[in-house]
């Protein structure tokens, strides 16, 4: 069957929560919003070009090699032997930089997916993973799929190996919701990584492995109690919380109002709570938001089921 190529494609790639407390660099999940949009269309001018970027306050380059969406798409075109194909892209940033919600990953995913769809979908979503990874890595030099994986594939993803890109999508309990709050401060990923210790005690590693295993078992058994007991980060959170004002106050409020667990989204400053049900997630989001508001930090709330779709055409 021959798939006809469209003249233009617009796609949306969702924001993501990486690490998910107990899964540093190996766990992530997608939420419904915010996210990034990319439009790709054919052009009479040979090669890939970025013609327009909105929502970035002029921060992002239009050079293909300097933009995560462009790098990912160009890597795909090289793989397909189509670098002379005339394609132009528009990037519409709809999420903040340095938010801990996978902004660079969403752009990379949207860019490569849009071009793949424009070309008639020569590769599957999962086959696009290494190209999206190349795009995100161009932004911060780190090669880990805990943002790219869920933004591309949707759901909750577990990465056995970032080097081999061995990724599995985990079961998502039907009534599992995320309450995400982004305070108006910026934390650079490099700063958040540099603050971490270079070595950790075996006892700490053992505790983290137990929590990671418990979280995965809880998902497979639809045991939200076990999921909640396993949402504890003993590696990154104790150090990164210093970068987020009133972090432990927000955590205590979330847990005391029924959250299953609470931690930092990616490198921060966004924080997240997993909750049972939409009503509880909304309540938890409000009390977290109030902590930041009471301390003169503006913030945005995102309440969502786990997004099992990932990037898609809109």
Catalytic site positions? 136, 189
- Kindly give, in sequence order, each residue whose CB lies less than 8 Å from that of residue 190, ignoring residues fewer than 6 positions away: 140
Distance (Å, rounded) from C-alpha 249 to C-alpha 205? 26
32, 222, 265, 309 from 173: Cα distances, Å: 16, 6, 20, 15
26, 102, 284 from 145: Cα distances, Å: 7, 10, 28
> 80 and 127 in contact (C-beta within 8 Å)?
no
Distance (Å, rounded) from C-alpha 306 to C-alpha 31? 5
In this structure, the number of other CB atoms found within 10 A of the CB of residue 235 comes to 20
């Amino acid at each position: 069957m021959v798939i006809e190529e469209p003249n233009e494609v617009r796609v949306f790639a969702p924001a993501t929560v990486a690490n998910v407390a107990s899964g540093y660099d190996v766990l992530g999940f997608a939420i419904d919003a915010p996210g990034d949009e990319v439009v790709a269309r054919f052009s009479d001018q040979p090669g890939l070009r970025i013609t327009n970027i909105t929502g970035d306050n002029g921060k992002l380059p239009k050079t293909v090699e300097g933009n995560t969406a462009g790098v990912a798409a160009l890597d795909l075109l090289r793989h397909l032997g189509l670098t002379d194909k005339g394609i132009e892209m528009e990037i519409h940033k709809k999420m903040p930089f340095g938010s801990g919600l996978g902004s660079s990953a969403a752009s990379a995913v949207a860019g490569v997916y849009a071009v793949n769809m424009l070309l008639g979908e020569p590769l599957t979503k999962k086959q696009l993973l290494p190209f999206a990874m190349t795009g995100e890595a161009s932004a911060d030099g780190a090669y880990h799929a805990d943002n790219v994986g869920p933004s591309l594939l949707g759901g909750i993803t577990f990465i056995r190996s970032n080097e081999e890109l061995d990724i599995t999508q985990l079961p998502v309990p039907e009534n599992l919701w995320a309450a995400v709050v982004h305070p108006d401060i910026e934390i650079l990923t490099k700063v958040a990584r540099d603050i971490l210790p270079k070595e950790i005690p075996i006892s700490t590693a053992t505790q983290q492995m137990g929590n990671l295993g418990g979280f995965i078992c809880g998902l497979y058994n639809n045991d939200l109690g076990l999921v909640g007991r396993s949402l504890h980060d003993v590696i990154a959170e104790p150090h990164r919380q210093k970068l987020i004002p009133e972090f432990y106050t927000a955590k205590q409020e979330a847990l005391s109002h029924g959250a299953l667990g609470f931690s930092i989204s990616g490198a921060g400053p966004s924080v997240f709570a997993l909750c049972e049900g939409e009503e509880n997630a909304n309540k938890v989001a409000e009390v977290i938001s109030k902590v930041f508001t009471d301390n003169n930090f503006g913030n945005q709330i995102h309440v969502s089921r786990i997004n099992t779709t990932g990037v898609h055409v809109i």
